[in-house]
Chain A
Amino acid sequence: MVSVPVSTTINSDEVEFLCRADESLLDVLRNRLGLMGAKEGCGTGDCGACSVIMDGRIVCSCLVLGAEAEGRTIETIEGMADGNELHPLQKKFIEHAALQCGICTPGFLMAAKALLDANPDPTEEEIRFWLAGNLCRCTGYDKIVRAVADAAQEMRGKRA
C-alpha cells in the first residue's frame, strides 16, 4: 500500500510524516512520532484512553485516520504542561489522587481540558457527562470529578 504524506501541527510544532492510508492517528502518534502518551484501551472508540484534541475538539485518535490530520492542529498530553510548569488540571489530578494506575489519565486530562476550554464553570453533572466517554476502572471517578472541579475553580480565579 502506498504511503500518504501528511503535514500537520502537533503541540504547536509543525510535523510531517508518511503513513498508510488505513493507519489511525493513534498508531501514527505512538508508532511513528514517539508520542506514547495516548493509550490504546480498545481501538474502537469506546474507552477514551486515546483522546487528543483536534482543532479544539476532543476526539478518539483511534477513530481518526493519520491522513485526516493534514492541515489540522492537534494537542496531545505531551503538550499539556508548559515546559516544567504543569497545567492546573495535571497538578490537581496529582493532588487529589485522581489516578491509581494512571493508564486512563492522559485521556481524562485531554477531555477535561477540552471541557474547561469550552465551559470554565461546569456543574458536577456537566463534568460527569462530559467525561462519560472516558473509562476508568480504578478510581470510581470520585476523585477525578473533584480534581476537575477544583482545577476549574483555580483557573477561574486566575482568569478573574
Chain B
Amino acid sequence: MNFDPTYRSQKFRSVGTRPRRPDGIDKVTGRARYGADFNMPGQLVGRILRSPHAHARIVRIDTARAEAVKGVKAIVTASDLPDLTNGNQSLFNILDNCMARSKVLYDGHAVAAVAAIDANAAKQALKLIEVEYEVLPHVVDVDAAMLPDAPLIDKTLFTGGVEPTPETPSNVALRSEFGHGDIESGFAQADIVVERSYRTEQTHQGYIEPHACVASCNSDGTAELWVCTQGHFVFRQTCADLLGLDVSKLRVTSSEIGGGFGGKTHVWVEPVALALSRKAGRPVKLVMSREEVFRASGPTSATSIDVKIGARKDGTITAAAANLRYTNGPYADIWAELGAMTSFACYDLENVKTVGFEVLVNRPKVAAYRAPSAPMAAFAVESTIDELAQELGMDPVEFRIQNAASEGTKSSYGPVYGPIGIGPTLEAAQSHPHVKAPLGPNQGRGMACGFWFNFGGQTCTDLNVNVDGTVTLAVGTVDVGGSRASLSLIAAEELGIAYEDVKAVVADTATLGYNDMTDGSRGTFSSSMATISAARNAIGVMRHRAALQWDIPVEDVTWEDGNAKASGEKYGNLSPLSIKEIAAASGNTGGPIAGHSEMVADGAGVSFATHICDVEVDPETGSTRIVRYTVIQDAGKAVHPAYVEGQYQGGAAQGIGWALNEEYIYGEDGRLQNPGFLDYRIPVCSDLPMIDTQILEIPNPNHPYGVRGVGETSIVPPLAAIANAISNAVGIRMTHIPMSPPRILAALNRERNQ
C-alpha cells in the first residue's frame, strides 16, 4: 500500500467544524453501555480478596471454608493462573500483579478471588478465605527506598544501566541517561546557577468508572471478554498469553469507557475474571470497588527530583541538569526514563544531562497517567527556570522565548525537531490579554510550559461504502473523548460527503486487524491517518467502478467533492457520478465497495503547550483558589475543535487537582489511608473557574491534514504554573506537590518567623 502521509495544505469543509457526536444521544439518555452495564445469561459475581499488608510472604492460603459457602461456584488463587510467561519478565510482572504468588508487595495486592451466584455469597466467602502472612519490613518512600539499608522488594534485583553491574541488590531497577554537550563546562560559563530539589506525591488517574468486565470461557477453548479498556487488542494479547488461550479464540469487545487517562491501558482484574469463568464454567462479572481502584490500580509515580540550571546575564542558558527518582511500585518500568527524556524538551540547550532512577517501593504498580512522568519533571524544571528568570531580572516568558527550542534544535532526549509549537505558544502567551489583566490582593500570576512526545503505532481501519452511499467506518482505537466524531469528520472530508453520512464504530477484536492502545495521544492521530488511507483506497475502487459504468479508462476518472468525474474534453458530456449512484450500481459493477488500511502510523508530531494561571492564596488557611486559567497549545490541526478544547480543559483540571490537593497518604504500616473520593479530593465544579483555551495550528508535516495528538500535554504545565503563581502571590517557593493548605500554611509560617 503506497500511502503518502505528507501534509498538504488545503481548504477543509468538514474538518474544523463542531458537529454533534454520534454517541451523544446514547450518553445523555443513559443507554450507552459501559464496563459494568453488560450482563450474560447465568453470569456469576466475582470478587477479589486483597492483602492488608504492604509487604508479606504468603505462607498458606486455605479456601476450604469459603468453598463451602452456599452459592460459591469457584475460588482461584495464583495456582489457578500458572506461570506461562516463559521468562518474559514484564509479562510475569503483570501476572504477579493480577494475583500475588509468593509475596504480597503492596496494600491491596490480590491474593484470591471468588465467583458466586450473588454479591452476598461472594462477600461472605471472601471473609472465610484464610491467608497466613509472614509480614516483612516495607518501604513506600522513594528516597528511603534508595538507602543502602532499605527493605528489599526483590532480592534478585541488581541495578541495570550502570557499568559494572552492582554486586549487591537494591531497589533501584534501572538508571537511564540523556543529554549532550558538557554540563561542567556549561555551568562554568554561567553567571548565575540555580539548584533546587523537589518532591511530588503519588496521584491517581481518578476515572469515574471503576474497572469492570464480564468474562466467559467456554469448554471448547473459546472465550469472550467485555471490558472497559483503552486497548482491547492489547488486552486480548495479554489475557491470551496469561491464560494459555489462542489469540484468535479470545474475542474482546471494548465497552464505552468511563475515563482512563492511561489507567485503563493495563490489565488488572480481566485475567482473574477469565480464570474464574474457566473454573466455574459460567460467565463472571468482575467490577472493582472505588476502594480497590485506589488501592490496587493505576497510580502515577511519587518523585524526588534535583534540578540545576545555569545562565549568562544576557539570559542564555549555558547548562541544565536533572536527577530524577520515580517510584515504580513493586515492578520495574521506565517511568523515570520518561521523566528524564521530557525534562528539558522545551529548550534549545548546548549542554544538558538528565539521569533517571526507577525505584521499587511497596505501593501499587504504577500505570501511565496522561503524559506519564512529564508533569513532575516539568514542575521541577519550570519552577527552577522561573527562579532563574527572577534572579536574572528577566520576564519569565521572555526568558523562555530566548531559550526555546525551534525547528532544527537537537532535543535534550536525542531527535532533531521539525516544525514545533513551543515558540508560538510562548509568543501567544505574551500577547494574550490574560497577562495584562489586573491582580487583586494575595493574588499572583504564573506560567509554565509543557511537552509530550505523542505516539503513532499500529493501526487498522475498515471503511465500507453502503449501497445507499453512506459510509460505515470501523476503527480499532477505543474512543475515549469524542474520536468517533473526529474520525467521521475525517472520512467525510476525504470522501467529500456529509458528516451525517458517516457512522464510525469501534470494532471488536474479531472483526478488525490489530490496533495498539488509545494512549500516547494516538487515537485520533493514527486512526485518522488510517481513515484517510482507507478512504483513498475506497475512492480508488469507486473511480474504477465509475470507469466501468462509463466504459472509459480509469486514468480518466477523478474524484471531486463526493463525485467521480470524467476528466478531459472528450468526456465533457458525461455528468458526474455521485457516491450514491456508484454505490447503488455496485452490485452490477463488481460487488461491495470498501477501503481498508493497515499501517504503522509514524510521525506523530511532538506537542507543546504554555499555560497561564492566576491564583489567590488565603494567608489565614493556606488554601489556594484558581482565579483564572488559560491553556495555549498546538494541535497541528484541530479536527473537532470542541473536543480539542475539552482535552485542554480536562488536562488542566487534572493538573490543578494534582498541584493543589491530590495525594496518596500512607500510614506507618504502609497501608493507604485515603482510598476514596472523600479523602482523595479531585477538583469539583465549585473549585474551578472557566478554563480558557487557545488552539494553535502548526501543521504536523507527517500527517496529510497536519494533525498532532492533543490529549496529554495539557496536564504537563499546571503543577509548575500554579507553583510559580503562588510564589508571585505570597513570596514563597513551594517545592513539594501537592501544595495543599497545610503545606502552604507551614511555608507561610516559616517565612513569617524568619
- Interfacial residues, chain A to chain B (CB-CB below 8 A): 1, 20, 30, 35-44, 46-47, 49, 76-78, 80-81, 86, 90, 93-97, 99-106, 109, 125, 127-129, 131-146
Contacts and interface: CB of A to CB of B under 8 A. Distances in A.
Nearest to B119: A27
B685 A42 contact: no
A137 B208 contact: yes
A132 B33 contact: no
A135 B208 contact: yes
Nearest to B692: A142
Interface string B204-229: 01111110000000000000000000
26 contacts: A35-B30, A37-B29, A39-B208, A40-B36, A41-B258, A44-B676, A46-B676, A47-B677, A78-B29, A90-B29, A97-B642, A100-B646, A101-B481, A102-B28, A102-B258, A103-B258, A103-B259, A132-B687, A137-B206, A137-B259, A140-B650, A141-B685, A142-B691, A143-B645, A144-B685, A145-B685
A44 B373 CA distance: 31
Contact of B27 (A35, A49, A102): A102
Given A138-B259, A139-B649, A140-B652, 6 more contacts: A36-B30, A78-B29, A101-B480, A103-B259, A135-B677, A140-B650
Contact of B685 (A100, A128, A137): A128
Nearest to B289: A43
A81 B24 CA distance: 13
B64 interface: no
B146 interface: no
Interface residues of B, number: 56
B37 interface: yes
Contact of A137 (B23, B25, B682): B682
B18 A134 contact: no
Given A41-B209, A44-B290, A141-B653, A135 B24 contact: no
Nearest to A111: B685
Interface of B: 18, 20-21, 23-25, 27-34, 36-37, 120, 205-210, 256-261, 287, 289-290, 480-482, 642-643, 645-646, 649-650, 652-654, 676-678, 682-688, 690-691
A40 B210 contact: yes
Contacts of B682: 135, 137
Given A128-B686, A137-B650, A103 B677 contact: no
A46 B259 contact: no
A77 B30 contact: yes
A18 to B, nearest CB: 14
Contacts of A141: 653, 683, 685, 688
Contacts of B28: 77, 80, 86, 90, 93-94, 99, 102, 105-106, 109
B258 A39 contact: yes
B27 A99 contact: yes
B179 to A, nearest CB: 35
Given A39-B34, A42-B290, A80 B29 contact: yes
Contacts of A96: 642
A124 B290 CA distance: 30
A133 B677 CA distance: 11
A46 B677 contact: yes
Contacts of B290: 41-44, 46-47
**Most chain B Cβ neighbours within 10 Å, of A105, A139, A140:** A140
A44 B686 contact: no
B207 A137 contact: yes
A144 B31 CA distance: 20
B169 to A, nearest CB: 39
B527 to A, nearest CB: 17
A101 B20 contact: no
Nearest to A20: B120
